[in-house]
């Protein structure tokens, strides 16, 4: 059987990308205190700065989502895709 995407599990790719984002964000946070590596924590935050609150009387729902994309997170995503592709 030829090597291709026919046998690939895309749930594994999603899981690896999420792991790359988490590890990249963690490395970015750790490198924020190191002057030579401070650029890894540079990024942008997207989402709702104030959560949306829906008060239904007996039930209160709060909706909020914030995503912080950093350079370390992007590097983690790229590494996760490369690892997935070569395995």
Where are the domains positioned within the chain? 10-43+63-86
Please identify which residue in the block is written with the tokens 């890894």.
40
The pLDDT mean for the chain works out to 88
Integer Cα distance of 33 and 44 in angstroms: 18
43 three-class SS: strand
**How many helices (H) and strands (E) are present in the chain, helices listed first?**
2, 4
Q: How confident is the model at residue 87 (pLDDT cuts 50, 70, 90)?
A: confident
Is the pLDDT confidence value at 4 over 60? no
Is the CB of residue 41 less than 8 Å from the CB of residue 32? yes
Per-residue pLDDT of 58-75, as tens digits, reads 999 999 999 889 999 999
The number of CA neighbours under 13 Å toward the Cβ of 87 is: 12
């Amino acid at each position: 059987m030829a090597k291709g995407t026919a046998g690939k599990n895309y749930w594994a790719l999603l899981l690896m990308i999420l792991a790359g984002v988490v590890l990249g964000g963690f490395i970015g946070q750790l490198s924020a205190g190191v002057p030579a590596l401070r650029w890894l924590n540079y990024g942008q935050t997207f989402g709702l700065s104030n959560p949306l609150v829906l008060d239904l009387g007996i039930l209160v729902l709060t909706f909020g989502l914030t995503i912080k994309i950093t350079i370390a997170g992007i590097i983690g995503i790229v590494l996760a895709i490369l690892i997935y592709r070569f395995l």
